[in-house]
Amino acid sequence: MNRESGLQLSAFKEPFLPTGLYTAKQVRELDKLAIDRVPIEGFALMKKAGRAAFRRLLRHWPEAGSLSVFCGGGNNGGDGLVIAGLAAQKGITVKLVLLAEASSLKGEAASAWQWLQQRNEFQSIDIETWPLSAELECDVIVDCLLGTGLTGKVRNKYAEAIDAINASGKPVFAVDIPSGLCSDTGRVLGSAVKAQRTITFIGLKQGLLTADAPDYVGGLEFDALDVPEAVFNEIEPGCLRADWKNFKTQLPRRNRNAHKGVYGRVLVVGGDYGMAGAALMAAEAVARAGAGLVYVATRPEHVAPFVARCPELMVRGIEEPQVLESLLENIDVIVIGPGLGQGAWGQQLFQLAMKKNKSMVIDADGLNILAALNITPRDNWILTPHPGEAARLLACSVNCIEKDRFRSVVDLQKKYGGSCILKGTGTLLAINQYKTELSDTTVWLANTGNPGMASGGMGDVLSGIIGGLLAQKGIDLSIVAPAAVTLHGEAANLASVSMGEYSLLASDVLNAIPLLLKDI
């Protein structure tokens, strides 16, 4: 319930989002192809967008009696002019707030202004230019200030208008993208509109699902505006959206004559003094993900507690690192880093593990040790850094990593080889040699999970899931990382239903994993 307007955001089932994600440049190319190939006139496509947006607005706020439509000088503003005309035709009170002179509009936006002027309802629309003469009085604000072409920082009256919208307390419906958000990176460019819902058109913008974006986009909807599939086949997506529902169907059913050897032997290395829980949770996650045999190399003091907690684990106390060598001989996958520490014990274990050239999942302190080494890229490992660890791996600042997460994950993969997972809101994955029917791009975005995952141990559980799937011979190696990341996020979503986000623990996610895998 919105305090100011008293309007309830109506329940509406989240629509399906497409797999392909695009940059702003690619979406402009899709627009041009649609106009040329369909064929359809540019303003006709704009009217389609305006009608689609207005229909969604009415579904979510069916009782809205008044709108304030904020329009900039580009085509996004043209969408707003169409929405204003349709709303006035419906008998809704409309205040049209223009941040550009009508005489300066060009192209489709100028056509939208002419179309609006020719409508009988034009006289009923209250038109104002910025700044406003009075406070906003409306049920819903429609944001059509700045579209996907924004690259620099929002300035002057546009920044003032965005601040006023956010301060109004009114529900906001953003058209195509919340103004001020970068459609390529998901970063806020100075200031951005905080929307309750956003509808985007033709190509789903990759920046709407990562970095700052989820705090500004609200509920995300998509409309292809009836652009035919042939148009999309001509433009490679910038990346692909990873969804657990899709990867769940790619995990194989188990044969009736299966035995534990088929599902792999995984060794978790870690759990230095004071950090035993990290290695224990990673090992439990390996088991819950379906690995056949799970071994743990940890401090001798941790053996008894580990076995008491999870007797299925085969735990070996390692005081002298050389003892690890015998354990490594018959292992298929090594998960190293959870609770490893960066002292002499952890460093020596890491060096021994690296010598065996086994398939590896490297997390936490394993990544910090790796960052300090001069390593040749390898194809048989999966790295799982958060932004701080990624900054150390690339010898740059965290701000540099977060400024463009898409570029950062690709840079990680190029430098280290294998597959790299850049954790965070809208986790990104750069996968080694992965092809799909849509694209041969190697970048995935997993828009799953929730803020409750911002707590200790979540990364340890993820590294264990990856290791558990990686060890199983029946699973296509190319889907291991995205399947693991989406399973992890969906398990967290499922656990949060009963636990909430404030109290969510990594162990709650562990307990939810079997509920998602039991139907395979």
Give me the CATH number covering residue 423: 3.40.1190.20
The whole-number average pLDDT for the span 136-151 is 94
Clarify whether residues 255 and 210 are in a common domain: no
Average confidence score pLDDT of the chain: 94
According to the model, what pLDDT value does residue 322 have? 87
Query: Does residue 3 belong to any structural domain of this protein?
Result: no
pLDDT at 150 over 60: yes
Same domain, 230 and 301: no
**Do 226 and 250 belong together in one domain?**
no
Q: Distance between CA atoms of 241 and 400, rounded to whole angstroms? A: 23
Whether residue 438 is predicted with pLDDT greater than 60 in this model: the reply is no
| 474 and 500 together in one domain | yes
Residue 11 is assigned to a structural domain of this protein: no
Give the pLDDT of residue 411.
Answer: 95
Q: What is the pLDDT, as a whole number, of residue 15?
A: 61
Q: Does residue 131 share a domain with residue 160?
A: yes
What was the pLDDT predicted at 3?
37
Q: Is the peptide bond preceding residue 178 cis, with omega within 30 degrees of 0?
A: no
Q: Are residues 346 and 406 in the same domain?
A: yes
Banded model confidence at residue 216, pLDDT cuts 50, 70, 90: very high
Q: Which residue has the higher pLDDT, 225 or 432?
A: 225
Give me the mean pLDDT over the 355-384 stretch.
Answer: 95
How confident is the model at residue 8, as a pLDDT?
Answer: 53
375 and 466: one domain? yes
Q: What is the pLDDT of residue 7?
A: 58
Locate 61 and state its tokens. 């706020």
- Contacts (Cβ under 8 Å, ≥6 apart) of 148: 24, 27, 28, 76, 176, 177, 183, 205
pTM of the model: 0.93
In this predicted model, what pLDDT tens digit does every residue of 443-472 receive, in sequence order? 999 999 999 999 999 999 999 999 999 999
Would you say residue 139 lies in a domain?
yes
The model's confidence at residue 497, banded by pLDDT at 50, 70 and 90, is very high
**Do 298 and 319 reside in the same domain of the chain?**
yes
> Does 222 share its domain with 318?
no
* Environment class of 369 (CB within 10 Å of its CB; exposed 0-12, middle 13-18, buried 19+): buried
Domain closes at, from 212, 236, 260: 236
Which pLDDT score, from 0 to 100, does residue 129 have? 94
Boundary (domain end) residue, out of 175, 203, 236: 236
Task: Give the percent of the chain with pLDDT over 90.
Answer: 91
For the domain that residue 209 is a member of, what is the CATH number? 3.40.50.10260
Domain boundary at 236, 269, 285, which? 236
Average pLDDT over residues 81-91: 98
143 φ, ψ (degrees, to nearest 5): -95, 110
Question: 2 pLDDT band (50/70/90 cuts)?
Answer: very low
The pLDDT-based confidence of 351 (bands split at 50, 70, 90) is very high
Number of domains in the chain: 2
Given a cut of 50, is residue 434 above it in pLDDT?
no
What is the reported pLDDT for 439? 38
More confident residue, 379 or 433: 379
337: confidence class by pLDDT, cuts 50, 70, 90:
very high
pLDDT at 12 exceeding the cut of 50: no
Q: Does 319 share its domain with 386?
A: yes
Residue 405 lies inside a defined structural domain of this protein: yes
Q: Residue 490 contacts by C-beta under 8 Å, 6 or more apart in sequence?
A: 244, 448, 516
* Structural domain contains residue 431: yes
Range of the domain at 389: 244-517
6: in domain: no
Inform me whether the pLDDT recorded for 265 exceeds 70: yes
Same domain, 430 and 474: yes
Q: Which residues contact 240 (CB under 8 A, 6 or more apart)?
A: 19, 20, 21, 436, 438, 439, 441, 443, 444, 445
Let me know if residue 12 belongs to a domain: no
Q: Does residue 4 lie within any of the structural domains?
A: no
Residue 31: pLDDT above 50? yes
Please tell me the predicted confidence (pLDDT) of residue 221.
96
- Answer yes or no: are the C-beta atoms of 252 and 479 closer than 8 Å: no
Q: What is the mean pLDDT of residues 148-175?
A: 95
Q: Are strands 219-223 and 314-317 parallel, antiparallel or unpaired?
A: unpaired
CA-to-CA distance for 401 and 385, rounded, in angstroms?
11
Are 202 and 286 in a shared domain? no
